[in-house]
Amino acid sequence: MRAFAFRRFADSATRALINGVPGGVAWTPDGRVFSVVSLTVAGSRIVSIDILADPERLAHLDLAPVAG
């Protein structure tokens, strides 16, 4: 049920490298980072999903956009 709280940010989500790891970024309507999701992949499987929504910690991330 917690995942539904994030669905309003789906339209603004973009793919990104988060500290060098594939994932996504959800943006607020005013352009601030709301949350990031990073995926750890081993072989061809996702083995870990990490979600971060703490504004203080988000401010310290190295976010790089991924070309579509």
pLDDT in tens, 3-61: 666 666 667 788 888 777 778 888 777 778 888 888 888 999 989 888 888 989 888 87
Q: In Å, what is the CA distance from 56 to each residue of 43, 46, 59, 63?
A: 33, 27, 5, 14
Q: What is the CA radius of gyration of the chain?
A: 12
Please tell me the predicted confidence (pLDDT) of residue 6. Answer: 61
Domain positions in the chain are: 2-65
**pLDDT of 64 strictly over 70:** no
CA distances from 68 to 16, 17, 33, 42, 48 (A): 10, 12, 19, 22, 23
pLDDT grade, residue 66 (50/70/90)?
low
Residues paired with 35 in a beta bridge: 26
pTM of structure: 0.65
Nearest one of 4, 11, 16 to 58, comparing CA atoms: 16
